[in-house]
């Protein structure tokens, strides 16, 4: 019984830590890929569609995103698929780490400003400022979705 309780406590602690966000950053939400922002006049607006194809691919449209350092973007997401999907943007290493955790805890809920999960037919937004130049990635980390093609390059110049 003691071993069961210890294992359950460890699993709960790991799940809680990841669900509440584990990305290193400052108190204002700054991450290597940027930080959450507020809507402002003249900002870039990007529509992102989450879809599945008849041959089993799961995709984002557009598949590649390019921005300038300092640019603030309002992403509007629409899940046009038949499955739940998420959008997470981060470094390649963080995406890979997060993907591994999602494989262990597929029902994990996210509360990270760089991510959104949508049920079929739902819409949502993220407003983000890309502070640092670099090559990043965006992906759906629900188990199997990344492997089905639901990922893309995000470049900040």
Please give the pLDDT value at position 93: 97
Please give the pLDDT value at position 28: 60
CA 66 to chain centre: 16
Confidence of residue 12 (pLDDT cuts 50, 70, 90): very low
- CA atoms of 42 and 59, how far apart (whole Å): 28
- Kindly give the pairing relationship between strand 115-118 and strand 64-67: unpaired
- CA atoms of 154 and 33, how far apart (whole Å): 9
Mean pLDDT, range 52-64, rounded to an integer: 97
Q: Where are the domains of the chain?
A: 2-156
Indicate if the pLDDT at residue 140 is higher than 70.
Answer: yes
> Using H for helix, E for strand and C for coil, what is the string for 24-43?
CCCCCCCECCEEECCCCCCC
Q: Which helix (H) or strand (E) holds 99?
A: helix 92-104
Give the CATH H-level superfamily of domain 2-156: Cupredoxins -  blue copper proteins (2.60.40.420)
Mean pLDDT, range 14-32, rounded to an integer: 51
Place of tokens 């980390």: 141
Please give the pLDDT value at position 85: 96
Q: Is the CB of residue 50 less than 8 Å from the CB of residue 139?
A: no
- CA atoms of 45 and 94, how far apart (whole Å): 25
Indicate if the pLDDT at residue 31 is higher than 90.
Answer: yes
Range of lowest pLDDT (4-18, 104-118, 134-148):
4-18
Q: Compute, in degrees rounded to 10, the torsion defined by CA atoms 22, 28, 29, 32.
A: -110
């Amino acid at each position: 019984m003691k071993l069961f309780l210890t294992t359950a406590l460890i699993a709960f602690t790991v799940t809680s830590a990841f669900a509440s966000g584990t990305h290193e950053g400052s108190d204002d939400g700054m991450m290597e890929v940027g930080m959450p922002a507020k809507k402002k006049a003249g900002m870039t607006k990007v529509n992102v569609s989450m879809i599945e194809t008849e041959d089993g691919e799961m995709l984002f449209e557009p598949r590649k995103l390019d921005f300038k350092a300092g640019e603030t973007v309002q992403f509007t997401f629409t899940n046009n698929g038949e499955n739940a999907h998420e959008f997470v943007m981060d470094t390649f290493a963080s995406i890979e780490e997060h993907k591994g955790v999602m494989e262990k805890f597929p029902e994990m809920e996210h509360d990270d400003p760089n991510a959104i999960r949508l049920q079929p037919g739902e819409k949502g937004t993220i407003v983000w400022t890309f502070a640092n130049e670099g090559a990043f990635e965006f992906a759906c980390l629900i188990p199997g979705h990344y492997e089905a093609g639901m990922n893309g390059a995000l470049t900040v110049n």
